[in-house]
Amino acid sequence: MENRAYQQEILARVDLSNTSRDVIKAPTGAGKTYIATQIVHRFLEEGKRVAFTVPLISLVNQTVRSFWDQGIQEIGVMQAGHEMTNHNMPVQVCSIDTIARRRHYPEIEAVIVDECHRRSKFLYEWMDKWNNVPFIGLSATPWTVGLGNHFKRLINLVGTQDLIDQKYLCDFKVFAPSAPDLTGVKVITGHYGKDYVQRDLSGACDDIELIASIVETWKEKAEWRPTILYAVDRAHAGHLAEEFSRNGVPAGYIDAFTPIEEREVIGNQLKNGDIAVVCNVGCLTTGLDWPFVGCIILARPTKSRILFVQMIGRGLRVAEHKDNLLILDHSSSHEELGFVTDIDSDILSEGEDCWAGDKDADVVKVPKECPKCKMLKPIGVHECPECGFAPAKQTDIQERDGELIELDRKMQSITAKNPLDWYAQLLTVADERGYKPAWAYWTVKEKFSDVSLPYLDSNIPRKQPTAEVERYVKYKRIRYAKSRPR
């Protein structure tokens, strides 16, 4: 295999000295394993024994196969009962957890850490003790809080959009047809930055109507593409798999307790068309090599850029007869984080989020939803590339009873800031459902309880409800239904 230009540049820049603490950022499709094998070759030429660590035992055999393909065959595996266990081999492939359990370091002179964004107390202790041995990290998402306290330099030479432009990854399109209402869902700061509390998230997402909508949307848009679905928890994934099967769509299920052999069987079933969808939770985000996947369903909302990029990356690999990746976002994650091609950072975090010091971090340029087909349009695109719909241009000045109200030009979401805009949309909902205009007024008052509202004229021009408004109406309806005595 001939080096791509950016691969050559990465290999030219990486530090192989004994004090190296480099991180190579290589998105899905960049040839991260190939880059790693070239570094291994260089260490071997220097007479150094090398350990290549992976975060999961399920990735050990996959790594061994990749190394064999690149001419590295003197390999030993550190794993109980593995047929390739041989401590005399100059290259040792092992999982971090295996070494941590044994508390016995391999006899090597260089370490390459795959998926180094996954925090490991044992790894960091190892790096501190072996401060005269090179540790080189690899990751598509090296944005973990505190990673810069252990690794010191980030090599970031290629982005996801670059790889799409160069045809090393396929392009994608996103639809956001429905999503849970996340009102009341708590947010905590974890290893990978801020994200939703899983327990709260499960209650918001494991909804009968939303699950039905996910299946209906897939049947309408996915054209039976091999699909990976990301769910909140085991119950949620199980309910989704059941709903797909009930609607004539054969579905598989994978969670953290699914044996490696069974995962491989399910992967082959998806590839061969025996099943159409794999519903999973807590898996299929790292090191998965299923290029045939043509659709990703995000049924699990996230605020974590790391998790978001890892999930979508599972479907971006190119494959025969695959024109693009279809993403069905039932999580509002794109509205929160933007497109996967917009997410990147040149900073290794030393205690804060990589974006904490970025003045634009809270002003995310998010894609706009086509009101007709629900496709998320690229930023700045007016006419929908999917259905051709071009909404009428809206002015930033609204008129009501002779009073002019000018909206802030810097607002990212008018609907999130302006009660009048909500009122115009809620009046449309009221008209469609036969409610009185007073329902729209009191709904606005409840939503904007901290704003002193004047009299609102029900004769103002109506507006088509956005997905955000529709979700809030659904949330109110569900909350009311649950509050009624049974």
pLDDT digits (tens, 9 = 90+) for 172-216: 999 887 777 788 888 887 666 678 888 888 888 888 888 888 999
Contact indicator for 202, 232 with CB cutoff of 8 Å: yes
Name the band, by pLDDT with cuts 50, 70 and 90, for residue 352: confident
Q: Provide the domain limits for residue 415.
A: 397-480
Name the band, by pLDDT with cuts 50, 70 and 90, for residue 316: very high
Residue 276: how many other CB atoms lie within 10 Å: 21
The percentage of residues in the chain with a pLDDT greater than 90, rounded to a whole number, is 49
Residue 477 has pLDDT above 90, yes or no: no
Q: Is 387 part of a structural domain of the chain?
A: no
Of 139, 159, 179, the position where a domain reaches its end is 159
Helix axes 467-483, 437-447, angle to 10 degrees: 90
Q: Is 391 part of a structural domain of the chain?
A: no
Q: Is 389 part of a structural domain of the chain?
A: no
Q: Kindly state whether residues 442 and 367 are assigned to the same domain.
A: no
Average pLDDT score over the chain: 83
Q: Is 348 part of a structural domain of the chain?
A: no
The residue among 3 and 296 whose pLDDT is bigger is: 296
SS3 category, 417: helix
Q: Kindly state whether residues 185 and 216 are assigned to the same domain.
A: yes
Mean pLDDT of 50-77: 91
Q: Kindly state whether residues 41 and 119 are assigned to the same domain.
A: yes
Q: Kindly state whether residues 145 and 197 are assigned to the same domain.
A: no
Of the given ranges (162-171, 257-266, 421-430, 469-478), which has the lowest mean pLDDT?
Answer: 469-478
Q: CA–CA separation, 334 vs 175, rounded Å? A: 10
Residue 344 has pLDDT above 80, yes or no: yes
Residue 404 has pLDDT above 70, yes or no: no
Q: Kindly state whether residues 15 and 60 are assigned to the same domain.
A: yes
Mean pLDDT of 356-370: 53
Distances (CA, A) of 299 to 221, 230, 296, 347: 16, 6, 9, 30
How many domains is the chain partitioned into structurally?
3
The percentage of residues in the chain with a pLDDT greater than 70, rounded to a whole number, is 83
Tokens standing for 334? 């794109």
Q: What are the strands, taking DSSP E only, across 216-334?
A: 227-230, 251-254, 277-280, 295-298, 324-329
Residue 198 host element (H or E): helix 198-205
For residue 402, list its beta bridge partners.
none
Residue 57 has pLDDT above 90, yes or no: no
Highest mean pLDDT: which of 119-123, 450-454, 456-460? 119-123
Mean pLDDT of 134-149: 94
Q: Kindly state whether residues 137 and 182 are assigned to the same domain.
A: no
Q: Kindly state whether residues 434 and 333 are assigned to the same domain.
A: no
Residue 77 host element (H or E): strand 75-78
For residue 169, list its beta bridge partners.
317
Q: Kindly state whether residues 270 and 178 are assigned to the same domain.
A: yes
Of 128, 159, 190, the position where a domain reaches its end is 159
Q: CA–CA separation, 123 vs 51, rounded Å? A: 13
pLDDT of residue 377: 63
The residue among 406 and 265 whose pLDDT is bigger is: 265
Q: Is 422 part of a structural domain of the chain?
A: yes
Q: Kindly state whether residues 339 and 272 are assigned to the same domain.
A: yes
Q: CA–CA separation, 37 vs 35, rounded Å? A: 6
> CATH number of the domain that 308 lies in?
3.40.50.300
Name the band, by pLDDT with cuts 50, 70 and 90, for residue 148: very high
Name the band, by pLDDT with cuts 50, 70 and 90, for residue 458: confident
Q: Is 390 part of a structural domain of the chain?
A: no
Q: Kindly state whether residues 320 and 408 are assigned to the same domain.
A: no
Q: What is the 3-state secondary structure (H, E, C) of 367-390?
A: CEECCCCCEEECCCCCCCCCCCCC
Mean pLDDT of 56-68: 89
Q: Is 352 part of a structural domain of the chain?
A: no
**What does the pLDDT look like over 217-270, one tens digit per residue?**
999 999 899 999 999 999 999 999 999 999 999 999 999 889 888 999 999 999
pLDDT of residue 102: 82
Residue 314 has pLDDT above 50, yes or no: yes
Q: Is 57 part of a structural domain of the chain?
A: yes
**Virtual CA dihedral for 460, 462, 463, 469, nearest 10 degrees?**
90
Name the band, by pLDDT with cuts 50, 70 and 90, for residue 22: very high
Q: Kindly state whether residues 173 and 310 are assigned to the same domain.
A: yes
Name the band, by pLDDT with cuts 50, 70 and 90, for residue 453: low
pLDDT of residue 80: 83
Of 129, 159, 189, the position where a domain reaches its end is 159
pLDDT of residue 474: 76
The residue among 381 and 188 whose pLDDT is bigger is: 188
Q: CA–CA separation, 411 vs 415, rounded Å? A: 9
Q: Kindly state whether residues 140 and 37 are assigned to the same domain.
A: yes
